[in-house]
């Protein structure tokens, strides 16, 4: 989120605190109270959207990288051993199909890597019990679990990116709706002119207004030359 959007969200939180503290004041006015109802219906949605817009995908991406490395590392080791078994049993086609290096596997896109890992696993399983001296059933079971873990986590970063994008697309619409409420509240706050509530409300509103009026570079340069 942009800094101005973060300030806008911050103002929503501050205003909620102000409305809670001075509820005994504004609740006596039915017109103003109706606008507070609108504000309180929208403010939790804005807070939820703001939290969603800050979703971080880096951790999920790192987890995917770790899962891929673990699966590729074991698959390459087992497949090479299995390829020697195939070679010694005059099965050159299977030997060639089982030749896989860590480097080659690690360069594959997610979808292709998953397919290749499953292919290597299935070819080794198809060799049956005679493969056991080269690759044990326990090792194959471990590989299967690593492949399953990789498949499960592969889609997570993409899902998080889509989820964050949805939140970012939702926020501008909610912000515009809240601005309409602010417009009415700013005009109606004069019902409470001269009260602590009015001053607290105006102070809270200044948070977002001041952040929205950042001086332009030209204005900053003019100030320096004065």
pLDDT-derived band of residue 197, with 50, 70 and 90 as boundaries?
A: very high
DSSP 8-state symbol, 180: H
Predicted local distance difference test score (pLDDT) of residue 58: 47
Rounded CA gap, 207 and 224, in Å?
Answer: 25
Six token digits for residue 83: 């390829």
Mean of all residue pLDDT scores within the chain: 84
Q: What are the pLDDT digits (tens) for 115-129?
A: 999 999 999 999 999
Q: Computed over its alpha carbons, how large is the radius of gyration of the chain?
A: 31
Predicted local distance difference test score (pLDDT) of residue 130: 94
Predicted local distance difference test score (pLDDT) of residue 1: 58
Q: Are 12 and 43 in contact (CB under 8 A)?
A: yes
Q: Residue 137: count other Cβ atoms within 10 Å of its Cβ.
A: 11
User: Measured in Å, how far apart are the chain's first and last C-alpha atoms?
Assistant: 35
Q: What are the pLDDT digits (tens) for 101-110?
A: 888 898 888 7
The arithmetic mean of pLDDT across residues 45-71, rounded, is 71
Percent of the chain having pLDDT more than 90? Answer: 54
pLDDT-derived band of residue 147, with 50, 70 and 90 as boundaries?
A: very high
Q: Residue 187: count other Cβ atoms within 10 Å of its Cβ.
A: 10
Q: What are the pLDDT digits (tens) for 9-50?
A: 888 989 999 999 999 999 999 999 999 999 999 999 888 887
Length of the chain as a residue count: 226
């Amino acid at each position: 989120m942009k800094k101005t959007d973060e300030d806008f969200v911050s103002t929503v939180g501050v205003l909620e605190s102000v409305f809670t503290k001075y509820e005994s004041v504004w609740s006596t006015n039915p017109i103003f109270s109706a606008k507070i109802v609108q504000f309180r219906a929208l403010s939790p949605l804005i807070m939820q959207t703001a939290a969603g817009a800050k979703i971080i995908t880096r951790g999920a991406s790192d987890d995917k990288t770790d899962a891929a490395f673990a699966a590729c590392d074991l698959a390459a080791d087992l497949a090479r051993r299995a390829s020697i078994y195939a070679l010694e049993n005059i099965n050159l086609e299977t030997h060639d199909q089982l030749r896989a290096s860590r480097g080659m596997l690690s360069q594959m896109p997610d979808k292709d890597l998953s397919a290749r890992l499953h292919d290597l696993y299935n070819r080794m399983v198809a060799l049956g019990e005679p493969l056991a001296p080269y690759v044990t059933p326990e090792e194959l079971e471990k590989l299967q679990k690593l492949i399953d873990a990789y498949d499960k986590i592969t889609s997570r970063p993409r899902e998080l990116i889509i989820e964050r994008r949805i939140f970012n697309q939702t926020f501008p619409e909610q912000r515009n709706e809240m601005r309409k409420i602010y417009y009415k509240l700013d005009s109606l706050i004069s019902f409470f002119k001269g009260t602590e509530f009015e001053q607290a409300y105006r102070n809270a509103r200044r948070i977002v207004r001041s952040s929205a009026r950042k001086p332009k570079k030209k204005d900053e340069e003019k100030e320096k030359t004065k």
